[in-house]
Structure 1
Amino acid sequence: MNNSVEKINNPIYPIMIAIAVAHLINDTMQAVIPAMFPIFKSDLGLTFTQIGLISFVLNIFASALQPVVGFVSDKKPMPYALPIGMISSFIGIAIIAFTTQYWVILIAVLFLGFGSAIFHPEGSRVSFMAAGSKRGLAQSIYQVGGNSGQALAPLISAYIFSVFGQRGAAMVLVVAAIGIVVLSKIATWYKQRLEQERLAKKKRVLVSTLPPLTKNQVGIALTLLFTIIFARSFYTTNITSFYVFYLMDHYDVSLRIGQILIFSFMAFGVVGTFFGGSLSDRIGRKNVILLSVVVPMPFCLALPYVPLWAAMIFLVIIGTLIMISFSVTVVYAQELVPSKIGTMAGLTTGFAFGMGAIGAMVIGVLMDHKGIDFTMMVVSLLPLLLLVAFFLPKDKPSSAV
């Protein structure tokens, strides 16, 4: 990956794609955990609360560390942290494939959380460095990799764990080894690019599409943005980790059929993520965020009450539209604070992990104490919080900057 002859400002598509592939592998390993929830419940006899705690430990650890990694890398980039993070995740998967002890599972997900915390801010930085003028597109390609990895969770559950059980997680180790090699190559390019920028005396700085804002206005905008991320992450965690139990209980479908329906939600979320970034380059970040709020709202509110055939359609619509803003919120945060690319990437993705962690814990407790139907009805109201998007500062399309 020697790109020393390329101009610093030009988009570098091979690197965009390579870091997206690495993101896919990283998040596939993360997806092993929710994919194993039905196995944990049936084979190990875990409660919904214990399952929620596993997700909580995984995501809250990643959440807490991501902003720290982003802040440190803003001051001193760490190219070779990328393969180190993947090695940590490799260790976590290796442990979880062969243990039946609950406390060992919790230790294993700490390794996975650490690997994720290292990867995401630095991966987002690589995407930014390779983007040139295509920031929205680059972030979308990067996030499509991650969301594709997460979307594999129900398929892994339906076609690997249902056949091989918990030991099936070992199959992911082969993919993890490939990821370590890919990230080692990217780290070499990353180091060379930093040297090019140093020799050219050109520090890469993001040009914001937002108007000049005071510190107070930036603080308010970030609060609104985090509220959006909170509601979206809490809601999508419910669908990806727990809605399969509702499908089996309420509609009497098999685990495999339920996981395929969850996959449809996540797969169309990947489609939305891909188009969201490039669309935001053309019509503005806020407009895309509003699109992801207004259109899916009635479908989210109605989902617990519709027949199975309608639920199948609603999952596709919600997945596509609610995730269209996934990469856009990261770029929007970076443009609010353009001097802190890694920190903002760490805060937004880390906050999303954290809210997913808290969401999993709360949903697990609710399902144990209030029942599956009640929990689904309560969570369906969460997207109403997304309406705060109307108060975000208006930005310009990238082409107008």
Structure 2
Amino acid sequence: MNRNQSVQYSKIGILSISHMLNDFYSNYLPQMLPFLVVLHPEFTATRAAILISAFTITSSFFQPLFGFFLDRAGKRWFVYVGTLWMAVMLSLTGLIQNYWLLVTFSALAGLGTAAFHPQASTMVNVLSGDHKAVLLSGFVAFGNFGFALGPLILIPLFQAYGLEATVITVIPGLLVAIILAFFAPKNNILSGSTPPLSVVIRSLQSASRELVAIIGVIAIRSLAYTGLLTMLPLYFKSENVSNIVAGHLLTIMLAAGAIGGIIGGFISDYYGRKRLIVGSLVLSTPMFFGFFYTQGLLSTIFLALAGAALLSSFSVTVIAAQEAIPNNKALAAGLTMGFAGGIGGLAVVLIGRIADTWGLSAAIFVLFLLPIVAGLIALGMKSRPAARFQRSLAVKTN
């Protein structure tokens, strides 16, 4: 392995920890929902879905734009300015009384994570040498762990001090932004010639069939994921489950999902991206129903298994897109971590309407069916040899 291929673990570690905080903020608004329902009785499931969608849409649909720009000229300041921007916007949400102003601040906050993700994920990809799948899975897993910390930290905070306590949550964002400003990679790691727009378009056209399948998988999975994070807190509230217990259940699902993401990265290296994506998504639907129709410890185990299965393909779909358009990695990250997720986030409003019309149980039933739909769409992905096989073939060839 030459110097250019060496793995820079310290910088990847800093980016991964930053990703954990970034995604902690990304799961910020759903934890406010049970408290907003108490403060504002007119706060319907549809209004909750609109609020979450406002953040999801800006944080997602702007990522490909940032990704295209970053493929042309890497901007390291995106990672720390984006983190600080999102922290400041979200820390003010608890002070806002007007619903539409709250939606506006949520949408503005989403721009911060839209700036962070394409640059940070591309930095990790380039800094990972020959261990891209595993280290990118680790980077994504840190984000998922941050997501899992949201209910564990924020619900007790809001329970004890009210939504005004959001102002103090700017502190970790400020600290991490300072760390990134000093320790994020200082050189332009997006080395090589910059392809013109026409070349990028041809690259997208040549891989269009596979990209459509990947984006479809991520959009449906994102709808299930975002929808559950929006509807489950409201469902638990309607069933008189305490906010603390509900927060613990969501943390279990998300933490299991983070672990599942790491395991999924290893499995996809050994058995192929497509097999892992199809198998894990199809498996998650019966696991979710197992959670819903059982009780006690068994129900919690099913929820953990469902979360692990649903999110085990999270980083794998990003890598699959980067393999489909290898010369536009930041754009691929933006399309998968951003645009496709935004489509799913936008559709959460429909789930909110289902909940208001037919009840929360009906909406959750629909969400439980979505992963198996995503798995069927994944059958349209291109089958590539497993990364382990490719490395073995390269060694034999050399």
- The alpha carbon displacement at 1:284 in A equals 2.2
1:304, 1:376 within 8 Å by CA — same for their partners in 2? no
1:230-241 equivalences in 2 (<5 Å): 230-241=219-230
- The alpha carbon displacement at 1:308 in A equals 4.8
Q: Distance in 2 between matches of 1:170 and 1:81?
A: 23
- The alpha carbon displacement at 1:302 in A equals 4.7
Q: Distance in 1 between matches of 2:282 and 2:88?
A: 42
- SS where residue 27 of structure 2 aligns? helix
Is 1:219 aligned to residue 208 of structure 2? Answer: yes
Partner amino acid, structure 1, of 2:22: N
1:265-284 equivalences in 2 (<5 Å): 265-284=253-272
Q: TM-score with structure 2 length normalisation?
A: 0.89
1:26-105 equivalences in 2 (<5 Å): 26-45=22-41, 46-105=43-102
Distance 1:93 1:244, change over 3 A: closer
Aligned to 2:19: 23
Aligned to 1:330: 318
**Which of 95, 103, 114 matches 1:117?**
114
Partner amino acid, structure 2, of 1:394: S
Distance 1:67 1:55, change over 3 A: same
Q: Distance in 2 between matches of 1:74 and 1:227?
A: 23
2:49, 2:352 within 8 Å by CA — same for their partners in 1? yes
1:292, 1:324 within 8 Å by CA — same for their partners in 2? yes
1:1-400 equivalences in 2 (<5 Å): 7-45=3-41, 46-187=43-184, 189-191=185-187, 193=189, 197=191, 218-250=207-239, 252-385=240-373, 386-399=375-388, 400=390
Aligned to 1:3: none
Distance 1:113 1:383, change over 3 A: same
Q: Distance in 2 between matches of 1:372 and 1:294?
A: 23
- The alpha carbon displacement at 1:15 in A equals 1.4
- SS where residue 35 of structure 1 aligns? helix
Calculate percent identity across the aligned residue pairs. Answer: 26
Return 5+ residue gaps in structure 2 as ranges.
196-202, 392-398
- The alpha carbon displacement at 1:290 in A equals 2.6
2:310, 2:371 within 8 Å by CA — same for their partners in 1? no
Partner amino acid, structure 1, of 2:218: I
- The alpha carbon displacement at 1:10 in A equals 1.0
Q: Distance in 2 between matches of 1:180 and 1:308?
A: 41
Q: Distance in 1 between matches of 2:51 and 2:13?
A: 31
- The alpha carbon displacement at 1:175 in A equals 0.6
Aligned to 1:209: none
Q: Distance in 2 between matches of 1:170 and 1:151?
A: 21
Instruction: State the Cα RMSD in Å.
Output: 2.4
Q: Distance in 2 between matches of 1:395 and 1:216?
A: 19
Deviation digits for residues 302-323 of structure 1 (CA, Å, limit 9, x no counterpart):
5443345443121111111111
1:303, 1:380 within 8 Å by CA — same for their partners in 2? no
2:215, 2:335 within 8 Å by CA — same for their partners in 1? no
Partner amino acid, structure 1, of 2:367: V
- The alpha carbon displacement at 1:364 in A equals 1.8
Partner amino acid, structure 2, of 1:141: G
4+ runs of 1 displaced by more than 4 Å?
A: 202-205, 214-217
